[in-house]
């Protein structure tokens, strides 16, 4: 079995820097000894209380915004009562040996790159890169490095950054600037304009009355304290979910041989995680969020609608799972786990993909529930939801099964226990199924997080509730604004305290997104609304390349892209149609035929590892997107499709059908837009093949334009124009790659503006008709004239463009690459033979 520790080469201080937008590549600084409070200024702009993953994520996001020049931040202070920034409770060295419960691909502390942690593992602990659930300790090391690099970055950007090692015990609102006064456990205090509470997780208990008893553990963390337990003693573990499983594994890793009893109300274990796959109809879940938000669920209960729709989705896509999920049988715990493990090993637990696909949407569903519905959910459905949605990693499933089969572990119903002082035993109030007393010498509370704030053991939290600076939420935690995470008193909160408002609040993927929203609010950037974006994709290479770059970026920003493939009459012309000039035919071959007839059919829907671009089919299967062919973009039935999918912004990427009033009217609303990304400066370069025209005219750069769509080609008001450089050293088709970055940036920036409530109809430039020129396909004479200037559409023997296509779609798999190379080569040869007579 491979070791789960960091590789020796990577455990030195010379680790590969963390990649991604969050931090740059540079040397790191040490935070092992945090600043002493007396050496730092006593005022700060932003004070973040709690330096676990959540507090760190807020700092990362703030630093990122300064780096992106949104706003300069003068000073940040991170106040942490432990000695390290980053690992917090879950990922400290006290958790050595325990593995992550979430797949490493979801654990990147970077909202636009969930893979950041996996990439870090690949770079620093190569031998673990195929292990989807590495140790928590390893994750703690990633967080520590991220903290070091972020702090270093902050200082370089001129932010006066301090991390201080203190416990905050009180916060008071000042009647005048700066805003808040924070008192430390040492009696010192500082003033801050803004405060973010990132206090972390608090252990839930069901038997607080046992406190004071030496054999009672009110929280299993840090797990190292479990080492003091006698190995042959019998133990009651209160809980049967992920925390209880961690505790059993930690005990066994310590050599425990005594009996372990899981005690919970449900007496159910989590199910087991199957292979990580994508739900092919993920967009349905996004549509469901919009329906609920827009009140389309009718008069019925929102919760009822949600449950029905989820059932339907699972039923339609994974019919075999519906019985299992909604009508669980009477199988024993051990039988159920045996079946789960075996299904997970065979990769047969497909229905989980539907539940996993809800992760980012759950808070939106939750936000549409009334307080009563939320309470009803927690009472009636939550336990089942946790069983299936929060499944355990397969490795843990196998270990637990072994313990159950050996008889060392059992799972019983119950909650309350009392202490039999005379026998020095804890005894459950409830008997087991056979009517026997359930007892243990040690009792460990292992229920996970406490969400009832009245029970949370934090002096700071209790003081803030008493003083009224924080208000409790009627369902759970404290009340914060859904978008900004700000309380009525102006303090921000992230993490477990916000459960009542957001439902999912502690997993790394949620923490990063929530931190990002807090950072937006701290710098007064309007909240980003998740949008539905329709991308109309042409049959040509560049439509597809732009699409491939755009999709992951849109998804990372929380949007849901939809891909529409309008019928391309230019491409699907009849075989009998008259041939055009040779150069245009050759361009057509390399720009469309090779992609549509060779690359796409050969690659299929499975993405090529290491390829820079994905085809439409690969994108759809990789991200669970809707892809639909559209015979006529102006048909009423297509307008209905736009409506059904709640499309906010439509963007043709070199689509060759013209929009008419019917479809344009759909977008004619203050919050909807139909925009065209046009390769060419407007109004001088309207029409087709404008890059070729600009090259023929000797322009040094190409103007890219984003404009509104009206009923004519390329005549709508221009939102923005940007320039990209033309590479005259390459043929036109390959040289166009240099413009891709500008294309993608322009679309993303417009979407970002719309998503943050900006008006894309303001400040546009009306095209000057007098300067306007509409370019058609060039004639043979025009082609020859431009060729004489040294400009080629495609290089003469096609070698350059061939190599370019291999670079785009080839990937790392040599065998597949060879097949692709062979098929393109054959197609090229065939085309040359077929077009011999028009060759010049
Ligand atoms: C045992 C365990 C396992 C988990 N496993 C996973 C997993 O596999 N995947 C996943 O995504 N999530 C997991 N989680 C969820 C995990 O909590 C989050 O991923 C994340 O660590 C939460 O970070 P946090 O900063 O909110 O909390 P914490 O990491 O608890 O950090 C909060 C910090 O605030 C400090 N603090 C609190 N009060 C004060 C104060 N008054 N003054 C100064 N400092 C203060 C604490 O010392 C602490 O360091 C797990 C949680 C636990 C408890």
Residue from 623, 204, 152, 693 nearest 454 by CA: 204
CA geometry: angle at 360 spanning 275 and 456, to 5°?
100
Q: Per-residue pLDDT averaged across 476-502, rounded?
A: 96
Q: Are 658 and 710 in contact (CB under 8 A)?
A: no
> What value does the mean pLDDT take over residues 637-648?
97
The predicted-structure confidence for 454-487, as pLDDT tens digits, reads as follows 888 899 999 999 999 999 999 999 999 999 999 9
- The rounded Å distance from CA 791 to ligand 1 centre is 60
pLDDT at position 10: 37
Exposed, middle or buried by CB within 10 Å (0-12, 13-18, 19+), for 14? exposed
State the distance from the centre of ligand 1 to the C-alpha of 382, rounded, in angstroms.
22
Report the separation in Å between the CA atom of 43 and the middle of ligand 1, taken as the mean of its atom positions.
Answer: 26
- The count of other CB atoms within 10 Å of the CB of residue 647 is 21
Task: Give me the pLDDT at residue 306, please.
Answer: 86
Largest Cα–Cα distance of the chain, in whole Å? 105
- What does the alpha-carbon distance between residue 649 and residue 709 come to, in Å, rounded to a whole number? 12
**Ligand 1 in contact with 52 (CB < 6 A)?**
yes
How close is the Cα of 495 to the center of ligand 1, in Å?
A: 8
Ligand 1 pocket check for 506: Cβ under 6 Å: yes
Mutate to test the pocket of ligand 1, among 34, 90, 146, 244 (most ligand atoms within 8 A of CB): 90
What confidence score (pLDDT) does residue 328 get? 56
Question: Above 90 in pLDDT, residue 822?
Answer: yes
- How far, in Å, from the CA of 88 to the mean position of ligand 1? 5
Q: Quick check: CB of 221 below 6 Å from ligand 1? A: yes
Distance 403 CA to ligand 1 centre (A): 29
Q: Which atom of ligand 1 is nearest to the CA of 220?
A: 1
Q: Which residue has the tokens 């997107």?
A: 625
As separate numbers, helices (DSSP H) first and strands (DSSP E) second, the chain gives 28, 24
* Ligand 1 neighbour 273 (Cβ under 6 A): no
How many angstroms separate the CA atoms of 31 and 29, rounded? 7
Instruction: Give the pair of three-digit tokens for residue 188.
Output: 């010192």
Checking if the pLDDT of 810 tops 50, the result is: yes
Ligand 1 atom 41, closest CA: 168
- Distance from residue 168's CA to the centre of ligand 1 (Å): 16
Cβ(44) – ligand 1 distance below 6 Å: no
Q: By alpha-carbon position, which residue is closest to atom 36 of ligand 1?
A: 50
User: Using CA positions, which residue lies closest to atom 30 of ligand 1?
Assistant: 200
- Nearest atom (ligand 1) to Cα of 461: 41
Q: Locate the DSSP E strands across 81-167.
A: 160-165
Tell me, what's the pLDDT at 626?
97
Q: Which pLDDT belongs to residue 131?
A: 80
Q: How confident is the model at residue 834 (pLDDT cuts 50, 70, 90)?
A: confident
CA of 198 to the centre of ligand 1 (A): 9
Dist CA 735 CA 725 (whole Å): 9
State residue 235 phi and psi, 5-degree precision: -130, 135
Determine the residue of 88, 217, 478 to mutate for testing ligand 1's pocket, defined as the one with the most ligand atoms within 8 A of the Cβ atom: 88
Look at residue 28 in the predicted model and tell me its pLDDT: 32
CA-nearest of 274, 273, 275, 216 to 245 is: 273
168 lines ligand 1 (CB under 6 A): yes
Q: Do the beta carbons of residue 455 and residue 163 sit within 8 Å? A: no
Q: Cα-atom radius of gyration of the chain, to the nearest Å?
A: 30
Answer whether 198 contacts ligand 1 (Cβ < 6 A): yes
* Average pLDDT along the chain: 89
Residue 1 has pLDDT above 80, yes or no: no
90 C-alpha to center of ligand 1: Å? 6
Q: Does the CA dihedral 647-652-653-656 come out positive or negative?
A: positive
Ligand 1 atom, smallest distance to 107 CA: 11
CB atoms within 10 A of CB 575: 4
Q: What is the pLDDT of residue 383?
A: 81
Q: Among 299-303, 566-570, 592-596, 653-657, which is the least confidently predicted range?
A: 299-303
**From ligand 1's centre to the CA of 738, what distance in Å?**
44
Least confident of 252-266, 415-429, 689-703: 689-703
Ligand 1 centroid–CA 94 distance in Å is 13
CA of 504 to the centre of ligand 1 (A): 14
Pocket test for ligand 1, best of 89, 218, 249 (most atoms within 8 A of CB): 89
CA distances from 775 to 629, 681, 690, 695, 778 (A): 28, 12, 7, 13, 8
Please, what is the end-to-end C-alpha distance for the chain in angstroms? Answer: 65
Q: Minimal CA–CA distance to 821: which of 620, 623, 635, 602? A: 602
| Coil, strand or helix at 197 | strand
**Ligand 1: which atom is nearest the Cα of residue 460?**
41
Which atom of ligand 1 is found nearest the CA of 221? 1
Q: Is residue 696 within 8 Å of residue 791, measured between CB atoms?
A: yes
pLDDT at 66 over 50: yes
Residue owning the nearest CA to atom 11 of ligand 1: 507
HSE-up (13 A, CA, CB side) for residue 651:
29
* Cβ of 50 less than 6 Å from ligand 1: yes
Q: Choose one of 51, 244, 506 to mutate for the ligand 1 pocket test, by most ligand atoms within 8 angstroms of C-beta.
A: 506
- Can you list the domains of the chain with their CATH numbers? 37-91+150-201+453-522 (3.50.50.60), 208-270+398-445 (3.50.50.60), 282-381 (no CATH), 533-788 (3.40.50.170)
For residue 101 and ligand 1, the question of a CB distance below 6 A is answered with yes
- Answer whether 89 contacts ligand 1 (Cβ < 6 A): yes
With beta carbons less than 8 A apart as the criterion, state whether 665 and 689 touch.
Answer: no
Lowest mean pLDDT among 203-207, 380-384, 490-494: 380-384
Residue with the two structure tokens 């923005």? 720
Check if the beta carbon of residue 568 is closer than 8 Å to that of residue 656. Answer: yes
Res 4 pLDDT > 80: no
> Which residue in this structure is represented by tokens 């950072």?
519
Please check the confidence at residue 57 and state whether its pLDDT lies above 80: yes
Atom of ligand 1 nearest to the CA of 169: 41
């Amino acid at each position: 079995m491979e070791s789960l520790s960091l590789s020796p080469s990577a455990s030195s201080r010379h680790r590969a820097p963390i990649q991604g937008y969050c931090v740059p590549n540079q040397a790191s600084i040490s935070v092992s000894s945090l600043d002493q409070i007396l050496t730092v200024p006593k005022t700060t702009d932003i004070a973040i209380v709690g330096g676990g993953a959540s507090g760190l994520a807020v700092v990362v996001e703030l630093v990122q915004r300064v780096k992106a020049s949104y706003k300069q931040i003068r000073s940040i202070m991170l106040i942490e009562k432990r000695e390290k920034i980053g690992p917090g409770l879950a990922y400290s060295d006290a958790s050595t040996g325990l593995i992550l419960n979430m797949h490493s691909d979801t654990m990147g502390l970077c909202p636009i790159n969930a893979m950041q942690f996996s990439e870090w593992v690949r770079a620093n602990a190569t031998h673990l890169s195929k292990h989807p659930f590495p140790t928590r300790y390893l994750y703690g090391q990633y967080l520590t490095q991220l903290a070091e690099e972020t702090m270093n970055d902050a200082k370089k950007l001129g932010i006066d950054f301090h991390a201080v090692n203190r416990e905050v015990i009180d916060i008071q609102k000042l009647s005048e600037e700066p805003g808040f006064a924070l008192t430390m456990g040492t009696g010192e205090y500082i003033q801050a304009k803004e405060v973010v509470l990132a206090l972390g997780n608090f252990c839930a208990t069901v038997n607080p009355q046992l406190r004071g008893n030496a054999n009672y553990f009110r929280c299993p963390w840090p797990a190292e304290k479990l080492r003091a337990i006698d190995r042959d003693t019998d133990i009651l573990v209160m809980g049967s979910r992920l925390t209880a499983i961690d505790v059993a594994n930690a005990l066994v890793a310590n050599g425990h041989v005594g009996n372990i009893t899981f005690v919970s109300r449900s007496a159910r274990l989590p199910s087991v995680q199957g292979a990580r796959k994508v739900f092919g109809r993920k967009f349905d879940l996004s549509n469901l969020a919009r329906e609920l938000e827009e009140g389309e669920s009718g008069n019925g209960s929102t919760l009822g609608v949600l449950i029905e729709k989820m059932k339907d989705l699972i039923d339609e896509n994974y019919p075999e799972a519906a019985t299992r999920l909604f009508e669980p049988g009477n199988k024993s715990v051990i039988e159920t786990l045996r079946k789960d493990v075996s299904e997970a090993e065979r990769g047969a637990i497909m229905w989980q993909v539907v539940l996993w696909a809800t992760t980012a949407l759950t808070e939106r569903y939750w936000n549409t529930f009334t307080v009563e519905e939320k309470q009803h959910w927690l009472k009636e459905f939550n336990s089942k939801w946790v069983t299936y949605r929060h499944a355990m990693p397969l490795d843990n499933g196998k270990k637990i099964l072994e313990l159950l089969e050996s008889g060392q572990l059992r799972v019983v119903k119950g909650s309350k226990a009392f202490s039999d002082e005379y026998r020095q035993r804890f005894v459950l109030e409830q008997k087991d199924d056979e009517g026997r007393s359930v007892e243990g010498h040690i009792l460990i509370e292992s229920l996970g997080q406490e969400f009832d704030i009245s029970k949370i053991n934090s002096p700071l939290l209790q003081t803030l509730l008493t003083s009224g600076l924080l208000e409790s939420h009627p369902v759970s935690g404290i009340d914060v604004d859904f978008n900004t995470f700000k309380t009525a008193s102006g303090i921000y909160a992230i993490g477990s305290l916000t459960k009542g408002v957001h439902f999912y609040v502690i997993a790394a993927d949620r923490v990063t997104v929530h931190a990002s929203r807090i950072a937006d609010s701290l710098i007064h950037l309007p909240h980003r609304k998740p949008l539905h974006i329709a991308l109309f994709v042409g049959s040509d290479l560049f439509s597809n390349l732009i699409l491939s770059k755009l999709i992951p970026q849109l998804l990372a920003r929380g949007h849901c892209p939809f891909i529409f493939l309008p019928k391309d009459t230019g491409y699907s012309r009849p075989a009998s149609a008259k041939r055009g000039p040779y150069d245009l035919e050759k361009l057509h071959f390399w720009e469309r035929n090779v992609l549509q007839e060779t690359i796409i059919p050969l690659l299929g829907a499975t993405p090529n590892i290491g390829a820079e671009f994905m085809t439409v089919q690969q994108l759809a299967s990789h991200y669970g997107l809707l892809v639909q062919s559209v015979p006529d973009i102006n048909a009423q039935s297509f307008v209905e499709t736009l409506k059904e999918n709640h499309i906010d912004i439509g963007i043709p990427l070199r689509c060759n059908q013209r929009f008419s009033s019917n479809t344009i009217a759909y977008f004619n609303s203050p919050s909807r837009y139909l925009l065209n990304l046009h390769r060419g400066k407007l109004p001088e370069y309207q029409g087709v093949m404008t890059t070729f025209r600009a090259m023929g005219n000797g322009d040094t750069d190409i103007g890219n334009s984003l404009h509104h769509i009206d009923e004519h080609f390329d005549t709508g008001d221009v939102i923005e124009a940007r320039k990209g450089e033309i590479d005259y050293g390459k043929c036109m088709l390959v040289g166009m790659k240099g413009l891709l970055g500008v294309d993608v940036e322009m679309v993303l920036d417009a979407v970002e503006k719309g998503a943050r409530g900006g008006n894309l109809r303001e400040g546009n430039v009306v095209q000057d008709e007098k300067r306007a020129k509409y370019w058609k396909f060039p004639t043979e004479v025009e082609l020859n004239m431009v060729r004489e200037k040294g400009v080629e559409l495609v290089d003469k023997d096609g070698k350059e463009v061939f190599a370019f296509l291999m670079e785009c779609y080839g990937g790392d798999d040599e065998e597949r690459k060879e097949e692709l190379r062979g098929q393109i080569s054959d197609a090229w040869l065939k085309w040359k033979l077929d077009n011999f007579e028009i060759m010049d």
